[in-house]
């Protein structure tokens, strides 16, 4: 096993120095470029920041982001990607939790970075690129690094309104890459089309498969995903053979009838993860590109992208549910019932994960970590940490695990994980609002906010538009004179959901 992902990069760069690793529409980098430029950035960081500290990479999504990610790793630090479109309130919450040592930015975020107060060191990444490689410093750092060191922290939506920073080590990523590359024969002929933003775990395979295999990743402009015909043409032009996307992006291709314009014959493997993939949409993909292998993967950010997989080899009816399948190598899945006992086959239990894939917990948040990562109640003999996902599932008669929804109010919308509580916290923070509750309509992915207060719905929408990422914006606001309450004196969410999302 490699000790860090850098060892992986160095071996691959030696084998394929002139091969393209990451390319967007403006720029492309070979493995040699990636190696040398990230060593420059690493030397720059190492001069100013000691190892094991967070380096925020606050940039527009471009191929050069990857140089900073690897630069942070060369400095023995870990990277935290923040998107240029993220609202400043969310960024401030993330920075509060993180207390980062350094922010690397680009032209797109230069002005916004200047508005960030505090003593954080801020540099344009091009400044870092002008640094000479300091081999001595990088070797010293490497001597002290271990595979349990953090590689990155990704922030997911937190139910208290404070985003949670999921910590992931080099070892977790290396282990997952070993498995996925072996299981799907990924190699130097693999060509990927990145869809997910880099602050989202769905981009992790796109970043690390090339480092291990010599594969190439193309990063199309974000706007292409709103015009799926363009993305299919992009795939065809670049001879892309492997897609690792969220189901929403695959569904969008179908909904926009993009296959009527272009059917890229190059596609051989389609992996999706992150939310339920409707069989109706999958069947359209299978009709147009029948020779590709389709794989349903399951996993939260806390499990380094995926911990279960299901290769789709039989026919599924449009209204069937795709199995989540079985555990990936070095991951174990147990389903726990309400009494923390193993759920019998056919009985719904909470999906709990253990194994090398697991995060070390939430950054700077002991309480949240111990609420989700705990001793396996089935094992009373030695320390074995499981992550309780809050997802429900059961085992069918073939031993396959079938997804049965969320335990709490976390939802998935357009591929993004959202906790409705986070939206409520933003709305409730407004003086004009007394009470608020958000519900989700799974049929059309609408978020409906029911609230009481002294503000009409249009004015409320205007007030929060700058406080939430677009994918978290409610579709509808309903003003009530009083909030429905249940017998316990709590907001009656079930009643609100029934009233505003059904029929």
**Least distance to ligand AMP from the beta carbon of 297, Å?**
6
- Name beta bridge partners: 211: none
**Least distance to ligand AMP from the beta carbon of 156, Å?**
5
Q: Is the dihedral of CA 427, 431, 433, 435 positive or negative?
A: positive
Q: Would you say 414 or 483 has its CB closer to ligand AMP?
A: 414
Q: Would you say 177 or 273 has its CB closer to ligand AMP?
A: 273
Q: Which residues sit at the interface with ligand AMP, rule CB under 6 A?
A: 156, 201, 273-276, 296, 298-301, 324, 389, 391, 403, 406, 412, 417
Q: Would you say 219 or 401 has its CB closer to ligand AMP?
A: 401
The answer to whether 235 and 194 have CB atoms below 8 angstroms apart is no
Q: Would you say 24 or 206 has its CB closer to ligand AMP?
A: 206
Question: H-helix or E-strand containing 198?
Answer: none
**Least distance to ligand AMP from the beta carbon of 262, Å?**
27
**Least distance to ligand AMP from the beta carbon of 197, Å?**
11
The answer to whether 3 and 170 have CB atoms below 8 angstroms apart is yes
* Nearest CA among 448, 445, 444 for reference residue 497: 448
* DSSP one-letter string for 371-395: HHEEE-TT--SS--EEEEEEEEEEE
**Least distance to ligand AMP from the beta carbon of 51, Å?**
27
Residue showing the smallest CB distance to ligand AMP in the complex = 417
**Least distance to ligand AMP from the beta carbon of 306, Å?**
8
Q: Would you say 158 or 300 has its CB closer to ligand AMP?
A: 300
Q: Would you say 22 or 294 has its CB closer to ligand AMP?
A: 294
Provide the CA 487 distance to its chain's centre, in angstroms.
38
Q: Would you say 312 or 426 has its CB closer to ligand AMP?
A: 312
Residue 241 token pair: 């053979």
Q: How far is CA 89 from CA 48, 92, 418, in A?
A: 27, 5, 16
Q: Would you say 113 or 297 has its CB closer to ligand AMP?
A: 297
- Please give the Cα distance from 196 to 81 (Å, whole number): 12
The answer to whether 319 and 276 have CB atoms below 8 angstroms apart is no
Q: What does DSSP assign to residue 344?
A: P
**Least distance to ligand AMP from the beta carbon of 194, Å?**
16
- Please give the Cα distance from 327 to 190 (Å, whole number): 24
**Least distance to ligand AMP from the beta carbon of 296, Å?**
5
The answer to whether 45 and 38 have CB atoms below 8 angstroms apart is no
Q: Would you say 412 or 467 has its CB closer to ligand AMP?
A: 412
Contacts of residue 305, defined as CB under 8 A and 6 or more positions apart, other chains included, come to: 176, 201, 202, 204, 205, 273, 297, 299
The answer to whether 207 and 21 have CB atoms below 8 angstroms apart is no
User: Hey, what's the torsion of the CAs at 206, 212, 215, 221, to 10 degrees?
Assistant: 20
**Least distance to ligand AMP from the beta carbon of 369, Å?**
15
- Please give the Cα distance from 216 to 495 (Å, whole number): 50
Q: Would you say 216 or 296 has its CB closer to ligand AMP?
A: 296
| Buried residues in 203-212 as b, exposed as e (16+ CB within 10 A) | bbbbbbbbbb
- Please give the Cα distance from 34 to 36 (Å, whole number): 6
**Least distance to ligand AMP from the beta carbon of 125, Å?**
26
- Please give the Cα distance from 52 to 145 (Å, whole number): 9
The answer to whether 165 and 120 have CB atoms below 8 angstroms apart is no
**Least distance to ligand AMP from the beta carbon of 305, Å?**
7
**Least distance to ligand AMP from the beta carbon of 470, Å?**
17
- Please give the Cα distance from 145 to 138 (Å, whole number): 11
Q: Would you say 63 or 472 has its CB closer to ligand AMP?
A: 472
Q: Would you say 36 or 280 has its CB closer to ligand AMP?
A: 280
Residue tagged 């490497």 (tokens): 142
The CA angle 490-493-498, to the nearest 5 degrees, is: 145
- Name beta bridge partners: 60: none
């Amino acid at each position: 096993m490699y000790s860090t992902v850098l060892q992986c990069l160095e071996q691959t760069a030696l084998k394929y120095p002139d091969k393209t690793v990451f390319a967007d529409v403006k720029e492309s980098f070979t493995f040699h470029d990636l190696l040398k430029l990230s060593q420059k950035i690493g030397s720059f960081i190492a001069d100013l920041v000691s190892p094991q500290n967070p380096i925020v990479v606050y940039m527009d999504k471009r191929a050069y982001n990857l140089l900073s990610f690897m630069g942070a790793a060369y400095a023995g630090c870990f990277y935290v990607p923040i998107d240029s479109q993220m609202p400043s309130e969310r960024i401030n919450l993330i920075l509060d939790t993180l207390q980062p040592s350094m922010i690397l930015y680009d032209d797109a975020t230069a002005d916004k970075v200047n508005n960030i107060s505090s003593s954080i060191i801020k540099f344009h990444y091009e400044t870092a690129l002008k640094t000479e490689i300091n081999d001595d410093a990088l070797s010293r750092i490497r001597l002290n690094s271990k595979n349990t060191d953090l590689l990155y922290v990704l922030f997911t939506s937190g139910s208290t309104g404070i985003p949670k920073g999921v910590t992931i080590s080099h070892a977790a990523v290396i282990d997952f890459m070993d498995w996925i590359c072996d299981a799907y024969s990924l190699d130097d002929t693999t060509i990927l089309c990145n869809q997910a933003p880099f602050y989202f775990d769905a981009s992790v395979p796109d970043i690390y498969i090339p480092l291990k295999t010599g594969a190439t990743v193309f990063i199309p402009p974000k706007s292409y995903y709103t015009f799926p015909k363009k993305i299919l043409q992009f795939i065809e032009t670049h001879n892309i053979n492997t897609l690792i996307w969220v189901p929403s992006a695959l569904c969008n291709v179908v909904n926009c009838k993009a296959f009527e314009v272009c059917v890229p014959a190059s596609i051989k493997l389609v992996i999706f993860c992150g939310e339920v993939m409707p069989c109706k949409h999958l069947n359209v993909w299978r009709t147009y590109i029948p020779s590709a292998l389709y794989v349903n993967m399951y996993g939260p950010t806390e499990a380094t992208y995926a911990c279960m997989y299901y290769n789709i080899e039989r026919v599924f009816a449009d209204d069937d549910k795709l199995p989540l399948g079985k555990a990936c190598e070095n991951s174990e899945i147990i389903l726990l019932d309400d009494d923390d006992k193993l759920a019998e086959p056919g009985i719904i239990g909470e999906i709990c994960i253990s194994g090398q894939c697991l995060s070390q917990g939430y950054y700077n948040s002991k309480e949240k970590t111990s609420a989700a990562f705990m001793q396996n109640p089935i094992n009373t003999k030695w320390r074995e940490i499981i992550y309780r996902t809050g997802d429900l599932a059961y085992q069918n008669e073939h031993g396959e695990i079938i997804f049965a929804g969320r335990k709490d109010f976390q939802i998935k919308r357009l591929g993004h994980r959202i906790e409705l509580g986070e939206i409520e916290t933003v709305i409730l923070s407004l003086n004009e609002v007394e009470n608020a509750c958000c519900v989700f309509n799974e049929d059309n992915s609408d978020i409906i906010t029911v609230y009481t207060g002294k503000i009409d719905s249009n004015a409320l929408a205007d007030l929060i538009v700058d406080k939430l990422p677009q994918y978290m914006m409610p579709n509808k606001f309903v003003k009530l004179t009083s909030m429905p309450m249940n017998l316990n004196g709590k907001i009656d969410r079930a009643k609100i959901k029934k009233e505003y999302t059904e029929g």
